[in-house]
Structure 1
Amino acid sequence: MDSADEEMVEVLDDDGAVIDTVSRREMRERNLRHRSVLVAVVNDADEILVHKRASWKDVWPDRWDVAVGGVVDPGEAWEAAAAREMVEETGAVAELGYLGEDRYDDDEVRVLARIYHARTPGPFSFDDGEIVDAVWVPITQLRDWLADKPACPDSLALVLPRLDSP
Structure 2
Amino acid sequence: MADELIDILDKTGKLTGEVKLKSEAHRLGLYHASVHIWFYTKKGEVLLQKRAYNKDTYPDLWDVSVAGHIEAGETPENSAIREIKEEIGLLVSKTNLDFIGIYLSKKTPKPNLYDNEFHHIYLSQLEVPITSLLLQEEEVSDIALIHYNVLKEHLQDSKQSKIYVPHNVTYYNLVLNKIINRLQ
Give the TM-score of the pair, scaled to structure 2: 0.80
Pair 1:124-2:133 in alignment:
yes
Measured on the aligned residues, the alpha-carbon RMSD in Å equals 1.9
TM-superposed CA distance for 1:32, in Å, is 1.6
Q: 1:17 matched to which residue of 2?
A: 14
Q: 1:89 matched to which residue of 2?
A: 87
TM-superposed CA distance for 1:18, in Å, is 2.0
1: CA distance, partners of 2:23 / 2:151: 33
User: 2:52–2:137: 8 Å Cα contact kept in structure 1?
Assistant: no
> 1:8-44 CA deviation, whole Å, 9 max, x = no partner?
1111111212221111121121222101010001122
User: 2:39–2:65: 8 Å Cα contact kept in structure 1?
Assistant: yes
User: 2:29–2:116: 8 Å Cα contact kept in structure 1?
Assistant: yes
Pair 1:163-2:163 in alignment:
no
TM-superposed CA distance for 1:58, in Å, is 2.5
2: CA distance, partners of 1:9 / 1:151: 26
Q: 1:49 matched to which residue of 2?
A: 47
Q: 1:80 matched to which residue of 2?
A: 78
1: CA distance, partners of 2:168 / 2:43: 21
Cα–Cα, structure 1 residues 145 and 159, in superposed 2: closer, same or farther, change >3 Å? Answer: closer
Q: Segments of 4+ in structure 1 off by > 6 A?
A: none
User: 1:8–1:21: 8 Å Cα contact kept in structure 2?
Assistant: yes
Paired AA for residue 61 in structure 1: P
1: CA distance, partners of 2:84 / 2:168: 15
Q: 1:151 matched to which residue of 2?
A: 164
Cα–Cα, structure 1 residues 77 and 156, in superposed 2: closer, same or farther, change >3 Å? Answer: farther
Q: 1:58 matched to which residue of 2?
A: 56
> 1:54-113 CA deviation, whole Å, 9 max, x = no partner?
122222222110331110011111111111111111111231111111211122311111
Q: 1:104 matched to which residue of 2?
A: 105
Tell which deviates more after alignment, 11-20 or 156-165. Answer: 156-165
SS in 2 for 1:86: helix
Report percent identity of matched pairs.
28
2: CA distance, partners of 1:22 / 1:74: 8
Task: Give structure 1 stretches of 5+ with no counterpart.
Answer: none
Pair 1:134-2:140 in alignment:
no
Paired AA for residue 154 in structure 1: H
User: 1:64–1:151: 8 Å Cα contact kept in structure 2?
Assistant: yes
Task: Give structure 2 stretches of 5+ with no counterpart.
Answer: 109-113
Paired AA for residue 79 in structure 1: E
